[in-house]
Copies of this chain bind each other. A is one copy, B any other.
């Protein structure tokens, strides 16, 4: 029997989801945000202050990450704390960071 290339290709629907997942890590600001949230819980203002990005921009990114279910949020008083708690996501992200840092 013969091996068909089409059997190797991800169907478009799955591929779109994979692309969407990786898109979460494809922006400099989001990478910086996630580099914190994979290690410790943090609120919007704290992130904005430490990353030098506006609170609004941070919030937009977090909304996106929340809709993708990549971060969890918890309100404590006026503040909302975010974190990444999925070990697979953390591992995936860290692997990308490691690969970049190994290249020098």
Chain A interface residues (CB < 8 Å from chain B): 5-6, 8-10, 12, 14-32, 35-36, 39-40, 42, 46, 50-51, 88-89, 91-92, 95-97, 99-102
A17-B100, A21-B96, A89-B99 known, 19 other contacts, Cβ within 8 Å: A5-B40, A5-B42, A8-B35, A9-B51, A10-B97, A14-B100, A14-B101, A15-B29, A15-B31, A18-B31, A19-B25, A19-B31, A20-B26, A22-B26, A22-B96, A25-B26, A26-B26, A92-B92, A95-B95
The complex is assembled from copies of this chain, and their number is 2
Chain A contact residues, majority secondary structure: helix
17 contacts between A and B (CB under 8 A): A5-B40, A8-B35, A8-B36, A8-B40, A17-B100, A18-B100, A19-B27, A20-B26, A21-B96, A21-B99, A22-B31, A22-B96, A88-B95, A88-B99, A89-B99, A92-B95, A92-B96
